[in-house]
Structure 1
Amino acid sequence: MGKKTWRQLTVWLHVITSVGWMGQALALFTLLAISRTTEDDAIRVAATSMAHEIDSLLLAPLANASAFTGFMLAAATAWGFARHWWVLAKFAITLVQLYAGIFLLSGALQDSVVAARVGEPAPVALVAGTALMASALAFQAWLSVAKPWGKVRTGPKLPVAPTWMFVAAVAAPLIDITVGLLLGYPLPALSLVVLIVQLVRRRRELRPAAVPAT
């Protein structure tokens, strides 16, 4: 397969993992809302526990894959990270979502499981946070379709990565998801390595060539 095909596969993987991320965020919102509204302690514990399992086994791996493929499409194509307002907005929103998911959501879900066992519902902030996550992903989908606001800045066209980088962009998250499922927790190690390699490659490609002395 040629470069165009592998680039399209990278876009396809980005789309389906982003949709999956949003779907799991909506599932978390539904389960946590049930935790707040039910009068049955067993249902409350089951709903909160299921939300925690979905976060660990589905949402986190899909979020990592979605973010990685999005970053790779920016780093490996002419779009770049900061040339178009819509790409820059998606990049900033994704960073906030990853931070919130890793450092806030996961820990709060663990605490909610413990609290549910003593009869306490999920916090309102946690329910609102999952709704906000799904809404932000829906907004990012609109940005990808509409591509609003024009360019941040102009400059020479950015180089497109070679075919093997797009092959790696597809293979790395799939391998990471498989390993994560086997280990029982998300581990986007290979994706991070591939992204770093491409960022270093692009930096070298954009470095001005040395002018020979005369």
Structure 2
Amino acid sequence: MADRRSRSSRDLLVWMHVLTSVGWMSQALALATLLAFGLSTGDPEQRLSAVTMAEVLDEHLLLHMANASAFTGLMLSALTPWGYFRHWWVLTKFAITTVQVYAGIFVLGPNLQAGVRAAEDGRALPPGVAVGALLMASAMAFQTWASVAKPWGRTPWTRSPRAPRKVPSGPGWLFLVATLLPVAEYALSVGVLGFPFPFGSLLVALVHPIARSRGLRSGPAPRVAARGDAGPTSVS
């Protein structure tokens, strides 16, 4: 019964990860479409409308989807035998996701704001914003392929004498927390704060893997994970 509840909680987290990842990629494509239109049109009003809609889309939806997708993907790795550093495809996705999130925050967002100001002044949009959005969508598509194909095998760290040979899945309640936390943070950001505040997700994503790694190295040999706990098979 406990294993069944754990698998149900894991499936719920997988569903949330797929939902937010598809949302992230589709919103990135929508962003690229709006910005490409803004670059190509000769009408200043249409240019301003396109880049303004792109900025609204980025701030009010894409950013939240990206945060939730990244967090749920990290937790699926942390809570299942896949781990962060045991398989090259997981490690590659981890690196790409990290770059995407920070590029969106520190590069794409400010350039969108600059694009709005340029359109308000009647100037052309910087072409890099559309390219950046298209690269983001392309990176998501690549990660989808990696999730399905699971290429490149295991990393050298799995052969370390200190690495646990059998890694258990996390408890069902933690899968549930990882599913509901992005929803709570979205409600807090939209309904109260007015800006994204994924502090809880960041804290859990940082603290849990460290605590779990220490527990695996110091505790007794863990049980073999159930067949339903095979790890993340979705997009990220």
Give TM class, smaller chain. Answer: over 0.9
Q: CA deviation at 1:160?
A: 1.5
- Residue segments in structure 1 that go unaligned for 5+ positions in a row: none
- Selected match of 2:77 from 74, 77, 84: 74
Question: What value does the CA root-mean-square deviation take over the aligned residues?
Answer: 1.6
Tell me what 2:171 maps to.
Answer: 162
More relative contact order, 1 or 2 (CA 8 Å, 6+ apart):
2
- Selected match of 2:138 from 110, 135, 140: 135
TM-score of the two chains, using structure 1 as the length reference: 0.93
**What is the identity percentage for the equivalent residue pairs of Structure 1 and Structure 2?**
51
- Residue segments in structure 2 that go unaligned for 5+ positions in a row: 221-236
- Rounded to whole Å, the distance in 2 between the matches of 1:148 and 1:75 is 19
Work out whether residues 6 and 167 of structure 1, in 8 Å CA contact, stay in contact via their aligned partners in 2.
Answer: yes
Q: Which moved more, 1:58-67 or 1:145-154?
A: 145-154
Show the 5 A alignment for 1:75-154: 75-153=78-156, 154=158
- Rounded to whole Å, the distance in 1 between the matches of 2:110 and 2:128 is 13
- Rounded to whole Å, the distance in 2 between the matches of 1:198 and 1:167 is 14
TM-score of the two chains, using structure 2 as the length reference: 0.85
- Rounded to whole Å, the distance in 2 between the matches of 1:47 and 1:185 is 22
- Rounded to whole Å, the distance in 2 between the matches of 1:91 and 1:23 is 20
Alpha carbons of structure 1 residues 166 and 209: separation in structure 2 relative to 1, 3 Å? closer
Tell me what 1:2 maps to.
Answer: 5
Number of residue pairs the alignment of both structures matches: 210
- Rounded to whole Å, the distance in 1 between the matches of 2:73 and 2:215 is 20
Q: CA deviation at 1:149?
A: 1.1
- Rounded to whole Å, the distance in 2 between the matches of 1:115 and 1:157 is 56
- Selected match of 1:193 from 183, 203, 206: 203
Q: CA deviation at 1:209?
A: 5.3
Tell me what 2:58 maps to.
Answer: 55
